[in-house]
Copies of this chain bind each other. A is one copy, B any other.
Amino acid sequence: MQTGKVHKKIKVSQRPSEQIKGSGERISMDVGNYLAPVPCCMLSSGRPGEQPNIMTVAWCGTVNSKPPMISVSITKSRYSHDLVSETGEFVLNIPDIALAKACDYCGVKSFREVDKFAELGLTPEAMEGLEVARAIKEAPLSLGCKLRHTLELGSHDLFIAEIVSLRVRADLLDKNGALHLEKAGLLAYVHGQYFALGKWLGFFGWSIAAPAVLARRQRESRRVYKKS
């Protein structure tokens, strides 16, 4: 849980530019996949009559709000590529720190070697709107997804899917029903290294918030994170 580190006060008097330190010298380097941090999710999918499978995906993201859609890139050689292509459905499970090692394990082991649900002691859970894909019950949040588009980009196929159902840990909702997933203790992935989330830096719009609004929102945020 990163919740012990979120109470540092932001210096609100600064203009945005006043926080920017002089950067070091920059140079060119060879192109590669260096966008970071990226999410670290556990994609579960399956085929009727087989045990469900899990693979780890870091090349995923939100792509549309109405309707809510996500994308996931998978190479053709992965077993999950066939499962998603054939069934048109999957679950994107967002792990917490307690699942970090399981998450890594699902990224290096194949369905062809091991039954990952069984090996990891995880529980498949049915999701509304999906016929065969099962969620991971131990994850704080699971997004049930139906495939809408597939783009062949070269090494990877990009699957674009609509989120049709959600399952969430009840204790991550506040009394108004708002989700506080950040309280779950999430993971981020940076070029082969896993990190927990750390210090809370601010909310969307804090750079231009009026002082009274900023003070109120900071108090609220502190209260939210303290509760967990």
Point out residues on A near B: beta carbons under 8 Å: 2, 5, 14, 16-17, 19-39, 41, 58-71, 73, 92, 94, 97-102, 104-105, 107-109, 119-122, 125, 128, 137-143, 149, 151, 153-156, 158, 160, 163-171, 173, 177, 179, 181-182, 186-188, 190-208, 221
Contacts and interface: CB of A to CB of B under 8 A. Distances in A.
B109 A19 contact: no
Given A36-B94, A58-B62, 18 more contacts: A16-B104, A17-B122, A19-B102, A20-B98, A22-B138, A26-B169, A27-B168, A29-B166, A31-B165, A35-B39, A35-B94, A64-B158, A102-B207, A104-B204, A108-B204, A108-B208, A151-B151, A194-B200
Contact of A37 (B33, B192, B197, B207): B197
Contacts of A100: 19, 201-202
B193 A202 contact: yes
A37 B2 contact: no
A125 B20 contact: no
5 contacts: A17-B122, A29-B177, A31-B67, A108-B207, A158-B160
B60 A35 contact: yes
Contact of A24 (B21, B60, B171, B201): B171
Q: Which 3 A-B pairs have the closest CB atoms?
A: A198-B198, A61-B61, A17-B121
Given A101-B14, A104-B206, A29 B179 contact: yes
